[in-house]
């Protein structure tokens, strides 16, 4: 079993303060930025020893002959406050060698968003549309590397390709090396001596192009269609982001949409409502017959199944709900007036019952009021 007391250079009866002091001294001496790459493994051993000996429970296990850091040897790695030696390493000294390499020039591009206006029929049945989009594309002159044709990138003479520079800084641990991006190459490790004239070394240019968008049935205002890798090409000719097409549905002059159902109002003469009739209604699917039963009442709804908007994530379609609006005749001539009086007399309605009834507004009336803000 590893002798953690020997690694820290403290006796087995060392106090917590002695253990902490020994750890800090060794951490300053063995940090890779000070001692080089050879010191990194020793530093990890010191941090692991401190992980065990600074935790009373783990130290007790260790003193009993059990290494808590070994597989199956204890409650798992980490200090009492939840940090492991790797966390301590990064807290004291930054990201370490794994984060000190040069930054790649080619990076993923941003996502893009465009808006597409469509009609109700296109939303109901789906459609295919062509869009003109203005996005960044790979530079055709340099192929994305940012260099003038015939030239290439050059290793940075300041950081020698590392992408970062090191400086000595003072901290509570004493003098330590700090690492920061190279100011000459901005962390890339290379320099473009002769940038491409068309993209100025970016590896990408803006261009207008045409793309085809398949709009599925059932989309609504606010629906976003994702086109993978159709967005902005990244710097250095990096992979493109995604393009999102946001749908905006234009209002229809007849139909009002609510979810996947459609609503409309059909004015019907009083006589037709009373006697019944068959009317022809122009729908999104073409002419459809509506059979009005005798005695059709104002506000009655006739539902035409499956004539609404297609369901976006399932098969089938919504319904078309036709709200009947009975029209009371005005401007009657003498003959028409006499006929209505005769009908009223036959039905005993010359003096109707004045009793009031509770108001029950129709579904479409409430929908219309809501849409108009009343």
pLDDT digits (tens, 9 = 90+) for 199-225: 999 999 999 999 999 999 999 999 999
> Does 13 score more than 90 pLDDT?
no
The radius of gyration computed from the CA coordinates of the chain, to the nearest angstrom, equals 39
Reported as a pLDDT band with limits 50, 70 and 90, residue 36 is: low
Contact 211, 114 (CB under 8 A): no
Residues 332-343 have a mean pLDDT of: 92
Taken in order of first residue, the domains within the chain and their CATH numbers are 4-99 (1.10.287.110), 102-135+205-251 (2.60.260.20), 256-372 (2.60.260.20)
CA distance 141 to 129: 31
CA distance 147 to 271: 83
Reported as a pLDDT band with limits 50, 70 and 90, residue 295 is: very high
Phi, psi of 70 (to 5 degrees): -80, 155
* SS3 call for 59: helix
Percent of the chain at pLDDT > 90 equals 55
Specify the DSSP class assigned to residue 311: P
Token readout for 340 is 């209505």
CA distance 235 to 233: 7
Pairing of strands 224-227, 154-155: unpaired
147 marked as binding residue: no
Residue 371's pLDDT is what?
A: 52
> Does 37 score more than 70 pLDDT?
no
Reported as a pLDDT band with limits 50, 70 and 90, residue 178 is: confident
Question: 268 forms bridges with which residues in the sheet?
Answer: 326
CA distance 367 to 78: 61
Specify the DSSP class assigned to residue 240: P
185 marked as binding residue: yes
CA distance 219 to 190: 48
CA distance 301 to 358: 19
CA 149 from centroid of its chain's CA atoms: 39
Phi, psi of 75 (to 5 degrees): -80, 5
Reported as a pLDDT band with limits 50, 70 and 90, residue 32 is: low
Per-residue pLDDT tens over the stretch 46-74? 888 888 888 888 888 788 777 777 655 44
Token readout for 82 is 């939840």
Give the count of beta carbons closer than 10 Å to the beta carbon of residue 358: 4
Contact 213, 133 (CB under 8 A): no
Give the count of beta carbons closer than 10 Å to the beta carbon of residue 215: 19
196 marked as binding residue: yes
Contact 216, 126 (CB under 8 A): yes
> Does 185 score more than 70 pLDDT?
yes
Residue 91's pLDDT is what?
A: 42
Per-residue pLDDT tens over the stretch 107-144? 999 999 999 999 999 999 999 999 999 999 999 999 99
The mean pLDDT of the chain is 84
Residue 89's pLDDT is what?
A: 46
Token readout for 374 is 């009343």
Residues 272-291 have a mean pLDDT of: 95
* SS3 call for 125: helix
Residue 41's pLDDT is what?
A: 78
* SS3 call for 345: helix
Residue 149's pLDDT is what?
A: 95
Residue 90's pLDDT is what?
A: 42
Reported as a pLDDT band with limits 50, 70 and 90, residue 191 is: very high
Residue 165's pLDDT is what?
A: 87
Reported as a pLDDT band with limits 50, 70 and 90, residue 94 is: very low
Q: What count of Cα atoms within 13 Å lies in the side-chain half-sphere of residue 34?
A: 18
Residue 44's pLDDT is what?
A: 82
264 marked as binding residue: no
What pTM was estimated for this model as a whole? 0.63
Residue 130's pLDDT is what?
A: 95
Residue, of 263 and 52, whose pLDDT is higher: 263
Residue 368's pLDDT is what?
A: 58
């Amino acid at each position: 079993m590893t002798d953690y007391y020997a690694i820290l250079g403290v006796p087995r009866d060392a106090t917590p303060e002695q253990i902490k002091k020994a750890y800090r001294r060794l951490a300053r001496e063995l940090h890779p930025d000070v001692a080089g790459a050879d010191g990194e493994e020793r530093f990890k051993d010191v941090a692991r020893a401190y992980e065990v000996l600074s935790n009373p429970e783990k130290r007790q296990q260790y003193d009993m002959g059990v290494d808590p850091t070994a597989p199956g040897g204890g409650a798992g790695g980490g200090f009492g406050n939840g940090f492991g030696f790797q966390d301590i390493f990064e807290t004291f000294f930054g990201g370490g060698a794994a984060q000190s390499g040069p930054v790649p020039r080619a990076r993923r591009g941003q996502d893009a968003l465009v808006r597409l206006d469509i009609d109700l029929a296109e939303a109901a049945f789906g459609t295919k549309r062509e869009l003109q989009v203005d996005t960044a594309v790979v530079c055709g002159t340099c192929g994305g590397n940012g260099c003038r044709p015939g030239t290439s990138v050059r290793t940075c003479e300041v950081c020698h390709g590392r992408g970062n520079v090191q400086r000595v800084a003072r901290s509570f641990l004493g003098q330590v090396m700090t690492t920061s991006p190279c100011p000459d190459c901005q962390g890339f490790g290379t320099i473009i001596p002769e940038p491409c004239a068309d993209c100025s070394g970016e590896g990408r240019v803006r261009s207008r192009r045409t793309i085809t968008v398949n709009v599925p049935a059932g989309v609504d205002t606010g629906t976003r269609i994702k086109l993978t890798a159709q967005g902005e090409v990244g710097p250095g000719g990096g992979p493109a982001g995604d393009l999102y097409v946001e749908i905006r549905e234009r209002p229809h002059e007849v139909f009002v949409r609510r979810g996947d159902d459609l609503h409309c109002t059909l004015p019907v003469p009083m006589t037709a409502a009373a006697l019944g009739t068959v009317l022809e209604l122009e729908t999104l699917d073409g002419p459809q017959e509506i059979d009005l039963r005798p005695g059709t009442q104002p506000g009655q709804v006739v539902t035409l199944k499956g004539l609404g908007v297609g369901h976006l994530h399932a098969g089938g379609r919504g319904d078309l709900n036709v709200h009947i609006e009975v029209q009371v005749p005005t401007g009657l001539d003498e003959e028409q007036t006499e006929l209505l009086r005769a009908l009223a007399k036959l039905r005993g309605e010359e003096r109707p019952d004045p009793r009031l009834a509770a108001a029950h507004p129709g579904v479409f009336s409430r929908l219309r009021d809501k849409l108009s803000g009343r």
